[in-house]
Amino acid sequence: GAVVSQHPSRVICKSGTSVKIECRSLDFQATTMFWYRQFPKKSLMLMATSNEGSKATYEQGVEKDKFLINHASLTLSTLTVTSAHPEDSSFYICSASEGDTEAFFGQGTRLTVV
């Protein structure tokens, strides 16, 4: 299947700092990207949907000023967690699709805020 690369796979940051997570589609044009977070032993929770060149659409309850999503090109989307706090510690996962094809997921980023 198609390859979606997420970077970094793990990151530890200090409380109050910002951290950026990158999601790249390596062999296709990602017209749509999705960002999820996942808590231990829980399912994936959709945070936002982004289309290339447009503003992201956030799910209810997700703070758009805290979780900044940029989808400036057809191969790259970024999620920036601003002013991170320990409660933002989680597993963040992106997925990407080209047109109507099925979505492929990155390997995830484990964020720990200390």
Q: Name 16's Cβ contacts closer than 8 Å, sequence gap at least 6.
A: 83, 84, 85
In angstroms, the CA 48 to CA 45 distance is 9
Pick one of 21, 71, 81, 108: the residue that binds another protein (CB under 8 A): 108
Q: Of the two residues 66 and 91, which places its CB atom closer to another protein in the complex?
A: 91
Pick one of 65, 86, 87, 99: the residue that binds another protein (CB under 8 A): 99
Contacting another protein within 41-70 (CB under 8 A): 43-46, 49, 51
Report helix, strand or coil for 87. helix
Q: Of the two residues 8 and 16, which places its CB atom closer to another protein in the complex?
A: 8
Three state DSSP letters for 26-45 = CCCCCCEEEEEEECCCCCEE
Residues that bind another protein (CB under 8 A): 1, 4, 6, 31-32, 34, 36, 43-46, 49, 51, 91, 93-95, 97-108, 110
